[in-house]
Amino acid sequence: MKALAEDAHVPVMMVTAFGDFETMRQSAECGADGFISKPADLRELALRVETMIRTKRVVDELYAKNRELEELGRFKESLLSMTAHDLKGPLTGIRGFAELTLHKLEDPQELKELMHDILLISSYMGNLLENLLNLSLIRSGSLELDIVPVALKTVVEESLRLLKYELQGRKLELRLEDMQVAADRGRLRRVFVNLLGNAVKFSPPEKPIHVTTRRSDGFAQVLIRDEGIGIPRSLLPRLFEPFYRAARKEIRSVPGSGLGLHIARCIIERHGGRIEVKSRVGLGSLFTFTIPLS
């Protein structure tokens, strides 16, 4: 019976006509939590059942806490291994490029390109650290928003400036309506940086990236579209989970930590908005989110 119930921790009371010690011992060995011999006093039976229910509640709580702790442990492990792994790559890159510059001091053009690569990697590391910081605030429930009226266009421009190395040489199609939103400026920039960063990473350099903002039912609606590799439909449901990176050969060489979309969604939802994705493999992806108008 206990084996059948498995995770439910069902307490079992043995009610039997055999009141001897041997029967008691056997039933305890088989997993019974209580024992009462017939004819049973109904009041005693009720009292025992009540005690068992109380114990079961405590046991259930303990198991739930235990599961929570296990989940937290796994989360911390992924965080640690991800961070170590993700910071090692770019650091090696920076060191390599910096060493190369020492040998290229006479060639200004090559020097410029190497410096650009260093700045690009630093920008990547900066964004990763920002995401980690946001994640820790989200997990501890202390992500505070400083909501003020802000021009959406300005936030887009600031985000593009933050991504200037990533966006170099990329074609942007901007259709931005003038409007004020009620938002935390820094956090909203983070959403743009994460979504635009993905559009850059997951589409070929010759393809444009489209950013459109428009009004819709008291909200500002933002559409970020790329013409890149797209996302298989089966992977869409898990896309916003922390640390989720689609298991696809196409993205194996693309650096990332699987935090960007999770953080974007948390920030948008905390503003009272929504984020969704539509995508077709080989054609591109469209991320749409809303933010309340001020």
Q: Which is nearer to ligand ADP, 150 or 259 (CB)?
A: 259
Q: Which is nearer to ligand ADP, 12 or 200 (CB)?
A: 200
CB 256 within 8 A of CB 247: no
Token pair listed for 187: 């956090």
Report which residue's Cβ sits closest to Mg ion: 260
Interface ranges with ligand ADP (CB under 6 A): 194, 198-199, 202, 226, 228-231, 239, 244-246, 251, 256-262, 285
CA-CA distances (angstroms) from residue 84 to 88, 96, 139, 162, 197?
Answer: 6, 18, 19, 24, 21
Q: Identify which range of 91-99, 155-163, 191-199, 247-255 contacts Mg ion by CB under 5 A.
A: 191-199
Tell me phi and psi for residue 93, to 5 degrees.
-60, -50
260 touches Mg ion by CB under 5 A: yes
Q: How far is the CB of 272 from ligand ADP (least distance, A)?
A: 22
Q: Which is nearer to Mg ion, 36 or 200 (CB)?
A: 200
Q: Which is nearer to ligand ADP, 186 or 256 (CB)?
A: 256
- Sequence-distant (≥ 6) Cβ neighbours of residue 129 within 8 angstroms: none
Q: Which is nearer to ligand ADP, 114 or 120 (CB)?
A: 120
Total residues in contact with Mg ion, by rule CB under 5 A: 2
Q: How far is the CB of 243 from Mg ion (least distance, A)?
A: 11
**Is 257 exposed, middle or buried (CB count within 10 Å of its CB: 0-12, 13-18, 19+)?**
buried
Q: Which is nearer to Mg ion, 59 or 129 (CB)?
A: 129
Q: How far is the CB of 185 from ligand ADP (least distance, A)?
A: 21
3-state secondary structure 30-79: CCCCEEEECCCCHHHHHHHHHHHHHHHHHHHHHHHHHHHHHHHHHHHHHH
Question: What angle, 0 to 180 degrees and rounded to 10, lies between the N-to-C axes of helices 260-270 and 185-201?
Answer: 150
Token pair listed for 193: 């940086």
Binding letters toward Mg ion, positions 202-241, x by CB under 5 A: ----------------------------------------
198 touches Mg ion by CB under 5 A: yes
Distance CA 259, CA 131 (A): 7
Q: How far apart are the first and last CA of the chain?
A: 60
Binding letters toward Mg ion, positions 147-186, x by CB under 5 A: ----------------------------------------
CB atoms within 10 A of CB 33: 18
**Interaction site with Mg ion (CB under 5 A):** 198, 260
